[in-house]
Chains A and B, each alone.
Chain A
Amino acid sequence: MALLETHGLIAQYGQFKALFGIDLHVDPGECVAIIGANGAGKTTLMRSITGVIRNVPDQIHHNGQPIGALSPDQILRRGIAMVPEGRKLFPSLTVEENLLIGGQVRRGSGRWSLEEIYSLFPILKDRRRSPGTALSGGQQQMVAIGRALMSNPELLLCDEISLGLAPVVIRDIYAALPAIRATGAAVIIVEQDITRALAVADRVYCLMEGRVTLTARAKEVSREAIHAAYFGEPA
């Protein structure tokens, strides 16, 4: 059974329709990349899965159960955590408090604890008493990832984690991915950097204007196919 499935997922903001029937599935432990240009609907898809945008119950299933109408906190309790676009650390909280907030709802006796997060991102231990938003962009991204891991999710959603960061910083952040996957967690990566997405993912979906234009195994997909799916025209 798929860990997460969407069937004809439709999402809209008032009158504006952003997703037109997305079919997607993620298997346990799998890493799936979602690529697409700005406005393709990637973030809307993440917001739908995590319940920030409420949907029709049957359009999203988790372990076979409909979750489309659940609230974000109910979805987190089911083991789906998100690293939101723009990191969204809490400015009033220190680094450590940001991490603790993420662990306020914990599932079972999973791997992740404060100590484990600090060993994954050692720099955070030195900065643990600083306000979260006083850190550099890369360090803030580490806090955002750590905060999401603290609930011991079985599915981690990473929305644009490399956006606005220097290449060397992005490399450090992606270096944490194997340790995250080693816990058995599945990961969805929303990424503008196609090369990086294809390098780490098992499968890739490309969105354009709220529709899936490509589904492929990351190792097998051709540049031309990606180009056509991304821009809607052949390379």
Chain B
Amino acid sequence: MIWIDVLVQGILLGGLYALFAAGLSLVFGIMRLVNLAHGDLIVFAAFAILLITGTLGLNPFLAALLAAPLMFAAGWTLQRFVLNRVLGKDILPPLLVTFGLSVALQNGMLEIFSADSQRLSVGRLESASIDLGVVTVGTLPLLTFASAVGVIFVLNRIFYTTALGRAFRAVSDDPTTASLMGLNPKSIFAIATGLAMVIVTLAALYLGMRSNFDPSIGPARLLYAFQAVIIGGLGSLWGTLAGGAIIGVAQTFGAQINPEWQILAGHIAFLVVLLIRPRGLFPRAVD
């Protein structure tokens, strides 16, 4: 019985990791850009939500709704004026630039918000739970997982049923030919990064409600996101959700055996998947 509970908690935790990873997966899928500042941008968005809740007295959900367009604008600007300049055949410059951004963001946040741990408070929701008969699940983890499924569903709809999604896939396949069709790849990349930052805002909302955060925790979030994306198969959105769930389940099982093993178990699961399926569970057919 306890193991069913552990499994369910692990899958729900995976929803949070999938939210961390969805934006990373989106950006990588479209422009083959690995954003090393992704985790710090999640923490940055969490501080933005915290700031809005503090200043306007809103609850975190409404604050995230306000933060989302601001984060879209930040992502759009970052891509348009910084990352587009370094995208090219060589993958090293964008890595260096996003690494630099990561360091700058961490230190900037440390300066502005201090090293104190913060939390987004949502009152009773934090401890509310639903009894499903076999197991009892927390409302917040359930909401997190549902949001992850929703995000991935909506992203898939955008990708495969809209003109924007068509443009995303076309510039991902071949930016030069896409520009001959009247698309401006750099504008489309900017929209994609903006969209990724909206997902980052949602990830930040759940991160901040679930646990404490401070300016230094970004890189570990990036690591989980990265592992989820790679386990799922680079560029596959549903694969990212599966990847998140695998890490989550491995972590809860590890913690059940010995609380010190939680993080280690996630990393071991990552290594095992890489050994068996080096391209991830659901690699895209065309790369």
CA distance A147 to B183 in the complex (A): 13
| Chain A residues whose C-beta falls within 8 Å of the C-beta of B182 in the assembled complex | 72-73, 76-77, 104-105, 151
Q: Does A100 contact B (CB under 8 A)?
A: yes
**Is B183 in contact with A73, judged by CB distance below 8 angstroms?**
yes
Q: Which residues of A contact B163 (CB under 8 A)?
A: 100, 104
Chain B residue nearest to A50 in the complex (CB)? B180
Which secondary structure dominates chain B's binding surface? helix
State whether the Cβ of B136 lies closer than 8 Å to any Cβ in chain A: no
A210 part of interface (Cβ distance < 8 Å): no
Closest approach, in angstroms, between the C-beta of B174 and any C-beta of chain A? 6
Q: Is A170 an interface residue (CB 8 A)?
A: no
Q: Which of B166-220 contact A (CB under 8 A)?
A: 166-167, 169-170, 172-174, 176-184
Asked if B1 is at the interface of the complex by the 8 Å CB criterion, the answer is no
The distance from the CB of B177 to the nearest CB of chain A, in whole angstroms, is 4
Chain A residue with Cβ nearest B286 = A91
Q: Which residues of A contact B184 (CB under 8 A)?
A: 71, 73
A51 to B179 CA separation, bound complex (whole angstroms)? 9
> Would A92 and B286 count as touching, CB distance under 8 A?
yes
Contacting pair A84 B180 (CB below 8 A): yes
B contacts with A, residue count (CB < 8 A) = 18
- List, in ascending order, chain A residues with CB within 8 A of B180's CB: 50, 52, 72, 76, 81-82, 84
The interface residues of chain A lying within 8 Å CB-to-CB of B176 are: 52, 72
Number of interface residues of A (CB under 8 A): 24
Q: How far is the CA of A97 from the CA of B172 in the complex (A)?
A: 14
Residues from chain B with Cβ under 8 Å of A102 in the complex: 181
Q: Do B169 and A71 touch (CB < 8 A)? A: no
The residue on B at minimum CB distance from A76 is: B182
Does any Cβ of B come within 8 Å of A90's Cβ? yes
From A147, which residue of chain B is reached at the shortest CB distance?
Answer: B181
Q: Looking at the complex, which one of B166, B174, B178, B179 makes contact with A97 (CB distance below 8 Å)? A: B166
| B173–A91 touching, CB < 8 Å | yes
Given A71-B184, A104-B163, does the pair A90, B177 have CB atoms closer than 8 Å?
A: yes
The yes or no answer to A88 lying at the interface (CB within 8 A) is: yes
Q: Is A104 a contact of B286 with CB atoms below 8 Å?
A: no
The smallest C-beta distance from A67 to any residue of chain B, in angstroms, reads 14
Q: How far is the CA of A101 from the CA of B166 in the complex (A)?
A: 7
Q: How far is the CB of B241 from chain A (nearest CB, A)?
A: 20
CB contact between B172 and one of A76, A82, A92, A100 (< 8 Å): that residue: A92
Separation in Å of the B189 CB from the closest CB of chain A?
13
| With A71-B184, A88-B174: A93-B169 Cβ-Cβ less than 8 Å | yes
Residues of A contacting B174 with CB < 8 Å? 88, 90
Within 8 A of A (CB), among B136-190: 163, 166-167, 169-170, 172-174, 176-184
Considering the complex, give the chain B residue whose CB is closest to the CB of A100: B166
- Contact with A104, one of B172, B173, B177, B181 (Cβ below 8 angstroms): B181
Q: A100-B163, A104-B183 are in contact. List 11 more A-B contacts (CB 8 A).
A: A73-B182, A76-B180, A90-B169, A90-B170, A90-B174, A93-B166, A97-B169, A101-B167, A101-B181, A102-B181, A147-B181
The contact sample of 12 A-B pairs, CB cut-off 8 A, is A52-B176, A73-B184, A76-B181, A84-B177, A84-B180, A92-B172, A92-B286, A93-B166, A97-B169, A101-B167, A104-B167, A151-B181
Nearest first, the 4 closest Cβ-Cβ pairs linking A and B are A105-B182, A72-B179, A76-B182, A92-B169
Point out residues on A near B: beta carbons under 8 Å: 50-52, 71-73, 76-77, 81-82, 84, 88, 90-93, 97, 100-102, 104-105, 147, 151
